A and B are shown apart, each in its own frame.
Chain A
Amino acid sequence: MNRKAFALALVAAGLIASAAPSHAYRMIQNTGVGRFSAGAAVACNASGGFTHWNNKNISWRLNTANQGSGKTTALSNALASWTNVTSANHVLTYAGTTTTGFTTNGTNTVLWASGNGCTGSCLAITALVLQSGQVIVETDISFNNNVTWTTNGANYDTEAVMAHEIGHSLGIHHTEAGTTPTMYAFYFGSAGRSLATDDRSALQCAESRY
Chain B
Amino acid sequence: MDVKRLVRGLAVFAIAAGIAGFAAPAGATTLIRESLDDLVRSNRTIVVGEVLDTRSYWNADGTFILTDVRIAAHDVVKGNVKNRELTITVMGGTVGDLTTLIIGNPDLVAGNSYVLFLNEEDLPGGKALTVRSLIQGAFDVRIGRDGLRAVSQANAHPLLPDARGSYEAEGGREGFQLNSMMRSIREIVGYNGASPEVK
Give A residues with C-beta under 8 Å from B.
Answer: 1, 5-6, 8-17, 20, 26, 28, 30, 32, 34-41, 51, 101-105, 114-133, 161, 164-165, 168, 173-174, 176, 185-187
The 8 A CB mask of B1-38 against A (1 = contact, 0 = none) is 00000001001110111011110111111111110001
Distance of A127 Cα from B91 Cα, bound (Å): 9
Q: Please determine whether B31 and A122 come into contact, CB atoms closer than 8 angstroms.
A: yes
Report if A125-B100 is in contact (Cβ < 8 Å); known contacts: A12-B13, A16-B17.
Answer: no
Report if A130-B160 is in contact (Cβ < 8 Å); known contacts: A34-B94, A116-B124, A168-B28.
Answer: no
Q: Please determine whether B101 and A174 come into contact, CB atoms closer than 8 angstroms.
A: no
B121 contact from A28, A115, A164, Cβ within 8 A: A115
Q: Please determine whether A127 and B16 come into contact, CB atoms closer than 8 angstroms.
A: no
Report if A38-B121 is in contact (Cβ < 8 Å); known contacts: A122-B31, A173-B28.
Answer: no
Distance of A130 Cα from B11 Cα, bound (Å): 42
Q: Please determine whether B13 and A37 come into contact, CB atoms closer than 8 angstroms.
A: no
> Is B104 part of the contact surface with A, judged by Cβ < 8 Å?
yes
Report if A125-B94 is in contact (Cβ < 8 Å); known contacts: A13-B19, A17-B20, A30-B99.
Answer: no
Interfacial chain A residues near B42, Cβ < 8 Å: 120
Report if A121-B38 is in contact (Cβ < 8 Å); known contacts: A36-B105, A116-B123.
Answer: yes
Nearest CB in chain B to that of A51: its residue: B101
> Is B67 part of the contact surface with A, judged by Cβ < 8 Å?
yes
- For the complex of A and B, list the 3 residue pairs with the smallest distance between their C-beta atoms, beginning with the closest: A185-B158, A115-B122, A12-B16
Q: Please determine whether B16 and A16 come into contact, CB atoms closer than 8 angstroms.
A: yes
Q: Please determine whether B34 and A38 come into contact, CB atoms closer than 8 angstroms.
A: no
Interfacial chain B residues near A12, Cβ < 8 Å: 12-13, 16
Distance of A105 Cα from B17 Cα, bound (Å): 45
Q: Please determine whether A121 and B33 come into contact, CB atoms closer than 8 angstroms.
A: yes
- Interface segment among B70-78, B79-87, B130-138, B178-186: the answer is B130-138
The 8 A CB mask of B151-183 against A (1 = contact, 0 = none) is 000000110110000010000000000000000
> Is B90 part of the contact surface with A, judged by Cβ < 8 Å?
yes
Q: Please determine whether A185 and B136 come into contact, CB atoms closer than 8 angstroms.
A: no
Q: Please determine whether B28 and A9 come into contact, CB atoms closer than 8 angstroms.
A: no
> Is B60 part of the contact surface with A, judged by Cβ < 8 Å?
no
A30 contact from B101, B106, B134, Cβ within 8 A: B101
Q: Please determine whether A116 and B122 come into contact, CB atoms closer than 8 angstroms.
A: yes
Report which residue of A26, A36, A126, A174 has the largest number of chain B beta carbons within 10 angstroms of its beta carbon. Answer: A36
Interfacial chain A residues near B40, Cβ < 8 Å: none
Q: Please determine whether B103 and A128 come into contact, CB atoms closer than 8 angstroms.
A: yes
Interfacial chain A residues near B19, Cβ < 8 Å: 9-10, 13
Q: Please determine whether A102 and B124 come into contact, CB atoms closer than 8 angstroms.
A: yes
Beyond A35-B93, A133-B99, 8 additional pairs, beta carbon < 8 A? A12-B13, A26-B24, A36-B100, A39-B28, A125-B30, A185-B27, A187-B30, A187-B160
Report if A103-B64 is in contact (Cβ < 8 Å); known contacts: A17-B20, A115-B123, A185-B25.
Answer: yes
Q: Please determine whether A126 and B121 come into contact, CB atoms closer than 8 angstroms.
A: no
| A–B Cβ pairs within 8 angstroms, 6 of them | A28-B103, A35-B109, A38-B28, A117-B130, A119-B132, A122-B31
Distance of A137 Cα from B78 Cα, bound (Å): 40
Output the least CB separation between B17 and chain A (Å). 6
